[in-house]
Amino acid sequence: MQITIIYKKFLLVGFEIAIDLKKGFSDEITWIRSELKRSLERIGSKTEPMRLIGFWQPWQAFIMTPDPANAGKAKYFFGVEVADIDGVSSDFVIKAVPESEYAIYREERRGTAPKAEMYAVSGHKPNYEIAGDFEIFDDFDHLGENDACDVLVPIKF
């Protein structure tokens, strides 16, 4: 698996939804993706090429400070990258993710990359200050388990 390293910050606009991971959550994921697709015209300043970005949060809290009351609960964000947030209405969620170093790899079929390999970048370790790994999808037609996506994992020396 080829891994590339970049420095990047994100300004994202989209929606997020609370998820109970102990239950099936495919309906919630379908809803949030449909809601973004329906609302896409109302988001100005989308970066080109437009790519869809999803990430789970707060995954690092479960690893570093486990809380039994929150075990199995997370939020999922799904949105697009924008150049600015001028005119973004209040029904959208805005995520300003600070600059970090990222390991990028291409998952040809989702869930197939060994987790240990995601972090196997010489001299780096996960950056738990950034929320989760980012799944970057090419378009609305390729969001399924059998579709490819880019995965960006926040890392640091």
Instruction: Report the distance separating Cα 18 and Cα 132, nearest Å.
Output: 15
Domains of the chain (ranges; CATH) run: 4-156 (3.20.80.10)
Residues 96-144: pLDDT tens digits? Answer: 998 889 888 888 877 676 555 555 566 777 787 786 788 999 888 888 8
Query: Rounded to the nearest 5°, which phi and psi values hold at 130?
Result: -105, 140
Q: How far is CA 97 from CA 26, 82, 127, 129, in A?
A: 26, 12, 12, 10
Instruction: Report the distance separating Cα 151 and Cα 135, nearest Å.
Output: 5
Q: pLDDT value at position 90?
A: 92
Q: pLDDT value at position 106?
A: 86
Residues 10-65: pLDDT tens digits? Answer: 999 999 998 887 888 888 989 999 999 999 999 999 999 998 999 887 644 444 44
Q: pLDDT value at position 54?
A: 93
Q: pLDDT value at position 120?
A: 56
| Helix, strand, coil % in the chain, rounded to nearest 5 | 15, 40, 45
Q: DSSP of 14-80, one letter per residue?
A: EEEEEEETTS--HHHHHHHHHHHHHHGGG--SB-SS--EEEEEESHHHHHHS--TTTTTEEEEEEEE
Q: pLDDT value at position 61?
A: 46
Q: pLDDT value at position 132?
A: 73
Q: pTM of the prediction?
A: 0.83
Q: pLDDT value at position 91?
A: 94
